[in-house]
Amino acid sequence: MWPQIADELRRRIDVGRYAAGARFPAVVDLAAELDVAPSTIQKAVAALRAEGRLYTVLGQGSFVADVPAGDESE
């Protein structure tokens, strides 16, 4: 299930719903919105972090990285 959630979150970033530099929604908020367990969101967010799509600022949360179009697979 988490790969599909990661795909949806990736799509939202790509279309600008979550803009570069913007704070990413909290895990609990996304879990409620998408009607999945928080652990599912955590796995999807971890995948996006590993891809460089998100980054974390200690004590502040996750933020959308500035990833140029076409660089997602590099």
At 67, list the tokens: 């990833």
Tens of pLDDT, residues 14-63: 999 999 999 999 999 999 999 999 999 999 999 999 999 999 999 999 99
Contact 52, 10 (CB under 8 A): no
Tens of pLDDT, residues 4-15: 999 999 999 999
Find the helix or strand (DSSP H, E) in which 32 lies: helix 27-34
- Residue 67's pLDDT band (boundaries 50, 70, 90)? low
